[in-house]
Structure 1
Amino acid sequence: MTTHDWTASWIWGGGESSPRNEWRCFRKQFECPADFAGQAQVRLCADSRYVLYVNGMRVGRGPVRSWPHEQFYDTYEIGHLLRPGAVNTLAILVLHFGVANFYYIRGRGGLLAEVAAGDVALAATDGEWRTRPLAGFSRAAPRMSCQQGFSEIIDAREEDGDWSGEGYDDSAWERAVVIGPVGTAPWTKLVPRDIPYLTEEKLYPAAILEVNRVETPAFMAAIDMRNQFVPESADHANPIRYCGYLATVLRLERAGTVTVGLPTGLPSGSFYVGGVAVKEWRGEQPEQYAELALPAGDHLLLLDATASNHGGSFHFGLDADAPFSLRSPLGELEAGAGTPFATYGPFDHVEYIDHQGARELSCDHADYLALAAVSSAAELEAYREWARPLDPGMYTEADVFGLSVWRTRVERKPVAPELVRAVLPVPEPAALPRFDVGDCELVIDLGKEQSGFIGFEIEAPAGTILDLYGVEYRRDDYTQHTYGLDNTLRYVCREGRQRYLSPVRRGLRYLIATVRSAAGGDPSADVSNNVSGNASGKREPVKLHEIYIHQSNYPVANQGTFRCSDPLLNDIWEISRHTTRLCMEDTFVDCPAYEQVFWVGDARNEALVNYYVFGATDIVKRCLNLVPGSSEMTPLYVDQVPSAWSSVIPNWTFFWVIACEEFIGHTGDRAFAQRIWPAVRHTLVHYLTHLDKDGLLNMKGWNLLDWAPIDQPNDGIVTHQNLFLVKALRKAAAIAEAAGLAHEAEEAGFAASSDSLAEAINGRLWDDTRRAYLDCIHPDGRRSDIFSMQTQVVAYLCEVAEGERRATIDGYLAAPPAEFVQIGSPFMSFFYYEALVRSGRHAQILADIRRNYGAMIEHEATTCWEMYPNFAENRANPKQLTRSHCHAWSAAPGYFLGASALGVNRKDAGWQTVEIAPQPSDLAWASGSVPLPQGGHIGVRWTRSDARMKLRVEHPREVSVNVVWPEGLEGELEEVVY
């Protein structure tokens, strides 16, 4: 079938075209002919994501991330699931975000699906399909992060049977609304999926590490301040800044001590109680807690919500030794509607496109300034024109993250031996401990970082709450909470035994599962009835039959291998391999937990590691093809795609050009070169318009290379990106040559531009006194007084430094000057290692890997960290070693141990000729294999004794192998051809 023969129409339901966080069910029953031959396909697509069921069996998930103007659809073979001569059921759950993020452009809710047996259409989406929102799902679930969609809150008591199965009665559901045929905006073009489907492997945890009795504050809520203050910000993912207030009235029944808890900290640093600012806060950053002695009665709580906000939730909690309630200062709660909060403002707001605001935020409005002194709800009436009730869709008291971070009491208990049944595939369940006061918390270790879909089977009384929270790092009594990521799930049980598999992807190493008793009534009860203290009453047994994760990644096998005489390097290679696999979804992603975003620059290094570890090429081609889709946003291409954040990192576009050339070289795919060349030419032509009168790239953007404190302002002349532009122009010329279009690169002047740019860099950005390239020239003409290893490495790597300057920098590579800014991330280390390879310093690569990655292994890492310990973003909390504990931009050893220690490198396009040049350094032996893009592998095993090396090389007969022996060693070769 082609995109021109669809019989289906796009459909939706309900009254909103793009509802915030709606999970909507669709069903269609259809007859399968009695003479059905056994072959049938379903094609489908949805905005934003779907889960497909056929006769109650889950078939697949999708679609892959897409630009709306080029929407991917999926095709599944389902003939084996159909019953000839009977009624069959197609059921589809659509998760519509309704909010733009870093991997989704906001469109509208929609489903397109059809089933065909050969040329016979059996079912197609139209106005006869039945639909309704998923029963028991709360649309008020918190945003996971600015990069992602939403966490989930499920109340299974509201379910009325298995809606995906064939016996379910959907006659009371509404009929779907037809949006339009294929080609309807925003999905103007449909294209078939261009990569294989992802894996789903059911993995059980390794252990239960802790059992705790925990008590939690009486009140906790998650609030979406961004979309409350600036509703139109749901249409984009650009950062915004606004000024305004959040207000509620605390009614204390008797005098007591009230604790205000802000698990993610204050937005602006100002919190007022009755017009008086709270000054004394405690807690490790970013958490902030304050104890207040208050008399009985009403107290106005006013939070200055002024902030820069990219998206996510604000968490607000209260606890007290006296009964209390909250009410809105507007009074709506008493009328039976609304939330206990109101907002005032925004008095001003600014949107930042590509890190630039149209103007400065103005927070000098007289009413804004005066509000800080307001002491009561009555006084707030004077500012009614600025007031808005907090939208219930932006608010939930089912704040699993807040309750997991702020626990008012924790009492550790022994882990009973029978609890192991909860993490093993055995038929007997584990009965969870019960406490007279407090909840039961299990800390579950998955054994290593994983990425996928959490599932469980539990037996419990109706109303029992199971809260799940995933984190990446724990050590001793320290848990690194996922500030900035609401990595949680709340499930409210129906009576009896039940199963649940979340459709929301999560990354985690540890799963914190808290069982909260059903006693005390409805967990969603109105906050006005809330009092301090935990619920009490009869507690029936809760049995956990199993808990697991459906690991889901791009389908790759471990074709690349590496082992050597140093066990530390073996462990480092393994965490590099595992990190890369976890960051391979429908694109490369930066990390499986915090973001799950395809960052264009990260993917260049990730692709190289993948070539050596897994050998996958379809995912690389898909990533490269997605980037030019952002040309409608900017001809400079955005740094993460497809994304609603208009953000340009020039280096990321340059890395994309470099990665295109490397893919062509790796695969020999000249057809790809021909297809991608126009997009490469398009963006570089536009970058060259940003050269100043002296021939240097001088522009506004996110001028990033490393997290280290190098001088890389978002405006002006930044040396490292001028250097990478030189390399990108040269690689572009190579792409044109591979495409047979060298004359077009010559017409665009890329070779001449790269030479003149290199000359300008050497003329203006070299400092003779410091014998180094400076980091930048600021917009006001001020030359940076900061010198960094980053800039020197890039100058060497991009071959702009020549002659004496190159020799000088070569010395810096060997012994980095202490006064230079040092490398701050494993991402930058990748380029450093590339430079060390060029300078022949292979032993130094191993030493650096052992030092920096060895620190990760020392801390029991199973994946590579985003940053080096206690650097930059980590300094606020010395226990936080890095933000993300699984970041594929950091997996450099997976590439360099194969390319350097094994010495396997291609010498021409498509790996027709391979050079084997082992670099033993201090190793006694090494063995491994590197997969080839055309299939097969290069196998290498060497041992070294004194001045002699024995080398075994295994390769396909179609591949020519040249061996280069290490300097000073005699060689004995065994060549095996297959």
Structure 2
Amino acid sequence: MNRVISFFMAVVAFFSALFGGGGSQSYFKNEYTIPESTSEYKQLDTTPKEDWNAEYIWDNSDGSEENVWMCLRKTVEITQAPETLTAYISADSKYWLYINGEAVVFDGGVKRGPTAEDSYYDEVEIAPYLKNGKNVICALVWYWGKDKNFSYTDSGKAGFIFEASSIISDQSWKACRNTAYLNKKFASKSNFRLPESNIYYDATKELGDWLSPDFDDSLWENATANGKGGCAPWGKLYPRGIPMLKDYGLKDYLNSDSYKGQTFKSKKLITLEMPYNAQCTPYIKIEAPSGKKIRIFTKNTWLGAVSDIYITKDGEQEFEALGWFNGQHITYEIPSGVKILELKYRETGYDTAFSGLFECKDEKLNTLWQKSLRTLYITMRDNFMDCPDRERAQWWGDVTSEMAMSMYALDANSYLLYQKGVASMLGHIDPNTNVLQTVVPIGEELYELPVQQLAGICGFRTYYLYTGDRDFLNGVYDASVNYINLWTIDENHLVQHREGSWDWMDWGKHADTTAIENAWYYYALSAIKNMAQVLGKDSAEIETKMNEIKAGYASLWTENGYKSEEVKTPDDRANALAVISGLAEEDKYETITAVLESTENSSPYMEYYVLEALCQMGKYDTAKSRMLKRYEKMISDSDTTLWEKWSKHTGTRNHAWSGGPLVIMSKYFAGIRPTQAGYTQFVIKPQISAPDTVKCTVPSVKGYIKVTETKTDSSFTLDASVPGETEAIIYLPYSDGQTVKLNDSVIYENGSFAETDNIKLVGAEDGFIVFSVSATQSTQLHFEAVNQ
């Protein structure tokens, strides 16, 4: 009966939270300080470490059991503590490291999957934790052991390896299974997409203070050694390539004080509030009798996310559920007789700095940009994810959008996560098929969504344009060509439909499959052609295919827009892709604009490309109006992240692909985008149609580009910070007869230009006067266009 009541209470709480909220308009802004300088661009290290002396260790079991937590200890004597010492560590699946009772690594390791057979290792500086004399190294290792999931490749055998000079994991270590972590048949099971299990911890079965240097582990068994690093089944060990997780420390919830000191007479659900949706591990400190069950969950639990159960021991105690979940509202089910002493959470996340900004007078746009940023960040950890709750999977359509968002919002550390994802994708190619997998790593069979992979090829070109990393382009070129050659062009000069593992165009409705697929195919061909030109490769075959598709696509044109016979009316996604791929000529723009003004088939994933098309056609106000209309509910809702679909009740509440407006606002409304690879040349072309002030910061690989753009009824002012070793093409909104000043000196008046060494007049174009600024070092510019 108690289980039934507990379940009923949880369901009531969930649906109350799910359908409640929203309320009156509330605007959201992340609180952050942009770093003084941009971080250095780095290339991913993909060289495996092969000189291992350490061995994989576990207890004396065969290591195949699912959801096992193992405690490992090693005591070492050090005559003189070193000034620096790097530990090389890997585990299947995760580990927490402690030295002399002090936490060193929280949630270490990266989900397996550089290839289908291999693993990653961490590099950790441990010298600050060592001392002269006795030192005790402890590791808590969690083996997931789920061979079917969407984000991890199971080796089939638990293992932990540690090497720091002469300190190596071997049979001299002590091992003991942590009996407090239970593997309950139903309570521990998460949904099939996740490799992680739910946490079920029984404090009455604890081993004692085993992390203490003084703990007596003499009754523990010696570890069993199972082979040196690089051996099967764990395979080669590649550097993780991405930063260790950022630990923000334990924090009070916004309403923790409301419950401190309380003891409830009957079971009670309490919901703790965080300032935003975050990746976290919940913490509780209580005074309780033995055997009370505390459940901890979020709104996302009912969509398949993980949850926690804690069984109390007698007396004062504290517990932190180490398996992370995410949420903005964390619910604790507190039994009667339990006194709450503290309620906290630990936020952890990918180590990257919020480095971009967009602000204007419209708080709805500002909120949408900031929610997009928060959505991007919560979908980053071991890999870019579609969502941090239901799947945590690296779907490549999502990754392509996330990469573009990171270029306008995060520091260069974020680029490593994309590079790691690409390297994993390339590492999973079967040479017998040449298929680029859409979800990698994955504990399933090959998984391909063809249109997402075509989008991914286009994303390779985008990444090169923003970073200038020619080596990256060289690394993906052959795989892109091989994949594009899997399609066959038929007698109608259109591709034969490729279903892949999942015949999916978009979540939205009325998808014009023929028009969408062929536009993506042409767009990918265009990207490969561009890659070939950069790399000095022959693109004749690619160009032939482009010409064929262009001829075939022309047959889809009607007086109302592009449309195949599969649909009754033109689809917004197909027509948008026709624009951004280059299939649509400018004489078709007005018709296509009408389609995009009247048709709303796209999901938030494809909406990004619809908005991009409107901006490429110069329909900026239309793009802004459509953006505000379609995202209206997400903007006004109390959720701090964006939903998977247009309704919060039909998908996840934190889906990466929904953040495209962040790119649109910085790239087109503020007007900052590269025109040559690596920002050696870029444009600043503001699109402000009504009096407003727009502030935007873009963390380019050359340094920050910062603008403040102010439009009044009679003038336009542009303050810009231009990084060194770049050429900025400045489009200054201008009306005939106005005077243009630069840094308070007249440079253009009555058709006359006062040329300087580094500033040249390019010309006039569609309401702009255009200047070229060559900056050998960081340069501050103050342009004014004012009436005489």
Could you tell me the TM-score, scaled by structure 1's length?
A: 0.67
CA distance in 2, matches of 1:697, 1:174: 61
Give, in angstroms, the shift of residue 6 of structure 1: 1.1
C-alpha deviations, 1:444-479, integer Å up to 9, x for none? 12132111222222222211221101125xxxxxxx
Change (3 A) 1:45 1:593: same
Change (3 A) 1:614 1:168: same
- Which of 426, 433, 441 is the aligned partner of 2:264? 433
The answer to whether 1:567 aligns with 2:363 is yes
The answer to whether 1:840 aligns with 2:618 is yes
- Which of 542, 556, 572 is the aligned partner of 1:789? 572
Letter in 2 for 1:759: A
Partner residue in 2 for 1:367: none
Change (3 A) 1:691 1:551: farther
Letter in 2 for 1:962: I
Q: Secondary structure at the match of 2:458?
A: helix
Q: RCO greater where, 1 or 2, for CA within 8 Å and sep 6 or more?
A: 2
Contact 1:950-1:973 within 8 A present in 2 as well? no
Greater shift, 620-629 or 43-52, is seen at: 620-629
CA distance in 1, matches of 2:559, 2:623: 29
CA distance in 1, matches of 2:104, 2:97: 5
Give, in angstroms, the shift of residue 128 of structure 1: 2.8
- Which of 565, 573, 582 is the aligned partner of 1:799? 582
The answer to whether 1:931 aligns with 2:699 is yes
Partner residue in 1 for 2:459: 659
- Which of 757, 769, 777 is the aligned partner of 2:549? 757
Q: Secondary structure at the match of 1:166?
A: coil
Greater shift, 961-970 or 83-92, is seen at: 961-970
Change (3 A) 1:12 1:759: farther
- Which of 895, 911, 918 is the aligned partner of 2:679? 911
Give, in angstroms, the shift of residue 923 of structure 1: 4.7
Contact 1:28-1:91 within 8 A present in 2 as well? no
Give, in angstroms, the shift of residue 514 of structure 1: 0.8
CA distance in 2, matches of 1:499, 1:30: 29
CA distance in 1, matches of 2:319, 2:488: 55
Give, in angstroms, the shift of residue 908 of structure 1: 0.6
The answer to whether 1:816 aligns with 2:594 is no
Contact 1:697-1:722 within 8 A present in 2 as well? no
C-alpha deviations, 1:505-540, integer Å up to 9, x for none? 2111111111124xxxxxxxxxxxxxxxxxxxxx4x
Give, in angstroms, the shift of residue 691 of structure 1: 5.9
CA distance in 1, matches of 2:634, 2:409: 20
- Which of 546, 563, 578 is the aligned partner of 1:773? 563
Give, in angstroms, the shift of residue 556 of structure 1: 2.1
- Which of 212, 230, 236 is the aligned partner of 1:183? 230
- Which of 514, 519, 522 is the aligned partner of 2:333? 514
Q: Secondary structure at the match of 1:845?
A: helix
Change (3 A) 1:690 1:56: farther
Contact 1:459-1:543 within 8 A present in 2 as well? yes
Partner residue in 2 for 1:830: 608
Q: Secondary structure at the match of 1:145?
A: coil
The answer to whether 1:18 aligns with 2:18 is no
Letter in 2 for 1:761: Y
Partner residue in 2 for 1:900: 668
CA distance in 2, matches of 1:510, 1:89: 36
Q: Secondary structure at the match of 1:937?
A: strand
Contact 1:465-1:493 within 8 A present in 2 as well? yes
Partner residue in 1 for 2:441: 642
Q: Secondary structure at the match of 1:562?
A: strand
Letter in 1 for 2:632: G
Partner residue in 2 for 1:91: 139
Contact 2:718-2:732 within 8 A present in 1 as well? no
C-alpha deviations, 1:775-804, integer Å up to 9, x for none? x7xxxxxx4546422222222222223365
Change (3 A) 1:672 1:812: same
The answer to whether 1:546 aligns with 2:346 is no
CA distance in 2, matches of 1:464, 1:131: 29
Contact 2:145-2:156 within 8 A present in 1 as well? no
CA distance in 2, matches of 1:828, 1:845: 14
The answer to whether 1:127 aligns with 2:171 is yes
Partner residue in 1 for 2:151: 103
CA distance in 1, matches of 2:666, 2:369: 9
Give, in angstroms, the shift of residue 144 of structure 1: 2.3
Change (3 A) 1:136 1:92: closer
The sequence identity of aligned pairs, in percent, is: 24
CA distance in 1, matches of 2:430, 2:387: 27
Partner residue in 2 for 1:44: 89
Partner residue in 1 for 2:418: 620
Letter in 2 for 1:515: I
CA distance in 2, matches of 1:806, 1:703: 29
CA distance in 2, matches of 1:767, 1:923: 39
Change (3 A) 1:711 1:842: closer
Letter in 1 for 2:257: V
Letter in 1 for 2:598: P
Partner residue in 1 for 2:110: 64
Give, in angstroms, the shift of residue 52 of structure 1: 1.8
Contact 1:11-1:178 within 8 A present in 2 as well? yes
Partner residue in 2 for 1:523: none
Change (3 A) 1:4 1:626: closer
Report matched runs for 1:284-363 at 5 Å. none
Greater shift, 71-80 or 587-596, is seen at: 587-596
Give, in angstroms, the shift of residue 203 of structure 1: 5.5
CA distance in 1, matches of 2:48, 2:427: 22
How many residues matched? 688
The CA RMSD measured in Å over matched residues stands at: 2.5
Change (3 A) 1:697 1:972: farther
Q: Secondary structure at the match of 1:10?
A: strand
Change (3 A) 1:170 1:100: farther
From the CA coordinates, give the structure whose radius of gyration is larger.
1
Change (3 A) 1:803 1:942: closer
Report matched runs for 1:158-237 at 5 Å. 158-202=205-249, 204=251, 206-208=253-255
Partner residue in 1 for 2:386: 590
Greater shift, 548-557 or 505-514, is seen at: 548-557
CA distance in 2, matches of 1:147, 1:711: 26
CA distance in 2, matches of 1:682, 1:26: 46
Letter in 1 for 2:372: S
Greater shift, 960-969 or 899-908, is seen at: 960-969
Change (3 A) 1:203 1:580: farther
CA distance in 2, matches of 1:727, 1:703: 19
Partner residue in 1 for 2:293: 465
- Which of 402, 413, 416 is the aligned partner of 1:606? 402
Task: Provide structure 1 residue ranges, at least 5 long, that are not aligned to the other structure.
Answer: 209-418, 423-428, 473-481, 518-538, 777-782, 870-879
The answer to whether 1:742 aligns with 2:520 is no
- Which of 129, 143, 150 is the aligned partner of 2:189? 143
CA distance in 2, matches of 1:470, 1:483: 8
CA distance in 1, matches of 2:173, 2:639: 49
C-alpha deviations, 1:120-140, integer Å up to 9, x for none? 402x22233222321211112
Task: Provide structure 2 residue ranges, at least 5 long, that are not aligned to the other structure.
Answer: 1-46, 744-772, 781-788
The answer to whether 1:35 aligns with 2:80 is yes
CA distance in 2, matches of 1:798, 1:10: 50
Change (3 A) 1:640 1:200: same
Q: Secondary structure at the match of 1:204?
A: strand
Partner residue in 1 for 2:497: 698
C-alpha deviations, 1:808-843, integer Å up to 9, x for none? 323323x325xxxx2342211100111011110111
CA distance in 1, matches of 2:435, 2:144: 30
CA distance in 2, matches of 1:890, 1:648: 21
Could you tell me the TM-score, scaled by structure 2's length?
A: 0.82
Contact 1:24-1:132 within 8 A present in 2 as well? yes
Q: Secondary structure at the match of 2:302?
A: coil
CA distance in 2, matches of 1:131, 1:751: 61
The answer to whether 1:448 aligns with 2:276 is yes
Give, in angstroms, the shift of residue 977 of structure 1: 0.9
